[in-house]
């Protein structure tokens, strides 16, 4: 949690991981290139869990449920709008 800026870190217990069509395409080497500096893509990137601990500036707290997505920062409109 200390690695996340502005005391926004969240530790949560993963309860479910979603696997979708994109994951199948990644596994079949049909989709995507890793971002610069990486040699892999992440599958199972939709995650549902329960908060165990949260930084003081978070909008969630124990025992909230959360949905998290694995996303690396980029330059597309979705990344820039965060």
pLDDT at 81: 54
Say which DSSP state 36 is in.
T
What is the tens place of the pLDDT at every residue in 39-75? 888 788 788 999 999 999 999 999 999 998 766 566 6
- pTM exceeds cut of 0.85: no
pLDDT of 48 reads 94
- pLDDT for the residue 74: 62
Distance between CA 20 and CA 22 in Å, rounded? 5
Which residue, 57, 65, 71, is CA-closest to 9?
57
Rounded distance, CA 6 to CA 59, Å? 13
Residue-wise pLDDT for 19-44, tens only, equals: 888 888 888 888 778 888 988 887 88
């Amino acid at each position: 949690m200390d690695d996340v800026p502005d005391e926004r870190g969240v530790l949560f217990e993963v309860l479910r991981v979603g696997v979708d069509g994109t994951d199948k395409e990644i596994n079949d080497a049909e989709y995507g290139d890793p971002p610069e500096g990486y040699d892999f893509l992440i599958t199972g990137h939709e995650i549902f869990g329960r908060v165990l601990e949260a930084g003081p500036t978070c909008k969630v707290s124990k025992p909230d449920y959360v949905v998290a997505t694995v996303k690396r920062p980029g330059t597309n409109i979705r990344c820039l709008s965060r």
